[in-house]
Structure 1
Amino acid sequence: MRKPRDFDAELKALEDKARELKTRKVQQLGELVIATGADQLSTDELAGALVAIAETNEAAKREAWAKRGVMFFENRSRRTAPTSQRNPRSTPAQPGGPHSPAGGTGSQ
């Protein structure tokens, strides 16, 4: 005879997994904001920038942003490998430094 399935237990396990995935996503987004230096922006500025990006349908802009993101992560991975072994706390400050002047001149 077959063992009956415990649908309640399966549903609870799926809900727990969904909650864990959502928590991980939120944590990773927060880490991304900090790594890019965007945590220096006010909440209103950051939300406004994200809304503008989400509303943009121009493929050329999205492609340029994607390329810039790839470059950011490539540069970050090159810099973090040796420095993370020495002083992991100094790594997040480095990516924000070069981007801050560029962001400042671009917004003026």
Structure 2
Amino acid sequence: MRKPRDYDAELKALEGKAKELKTRKVQQLGELVIATGADSLSADELAGALVALAETKDTDKRAAWAKCGAAFFQGRSRRSAPAADRNAGGAQTQLGGARPASGNAGST
């Protein structure tokens, strides 16, 4: 006879994993804000900019922002990662090791 599955224990483990992933996501978003220099903005300014971005349906603007973001990550990887890791890492790896940008880069 097979041992019955402990669904409660499995659910608890999955909830723990989900909480861990959410915590990591929040941490990486904070690191991204710092790395881009957006931490110099007030919370209201940053929230307003993100709301405007999320509500924008203009595909040309979104494509331009995506291109700028991709260039940011490529530039970050060139400065902070060894040559062998430049093309292997994704945004997740780069965010985990992101450091605040020097100077006032990204602010106008």
Please classify the TM superposition score into its range, dividing by the shorter chain length.
0.7 to 0.9
- 2:101 and 2:35 map into 1 onto residues whose CA distance is 8
**Structure 2 residue identity aligned to 1:37:** G
> Secondary structure of the residue that 2:104 maps to in structure 1?
helix
What is the TM-score of this pair, normalised by structure 2?
A: 0.79
**Structure 1 residue identity aligned to 2:45:** E
The alignment yields a C-alpha RMSD, in angstroms, of 1.4
User: What do residues 39-94 of structure 1 show as CA deviations (whole Å, max 9, x unaligned)?
Assistant: 00000000000000000011111110000000001111111237xxxxxxxx5233
- 1:60 and 1:93 map into 2 onto residues whose CA distance is 27
What is the TM-score of this pair, normalised by structure 1?
A: 0.79
**Structure 2 residue identity aligned to 1:97:** N
- 1:99 and 1:19 map into 2 onto residues whose CA distance is 31
Q: Which residue of 73, 78, 98 corresponds with 2:105?
A: 98
Give 5+ residue unaligned stretches, structure 1. Answer: 83-90
Aligned positions, number: 92
1:61 matched residue in structure 2:
61
Whose helix proportion is higher, 1 or 2?
1
**Structure 2 residue identity aligned to 1:63:** A
Map 1:25-104 → 2, pairs under 5 A: 25-81=25-81, 92-94=100-102, 97-100=104-107, 104=108
Give 5+ residue unaligned stretches, structure 2. Answer: 83-98
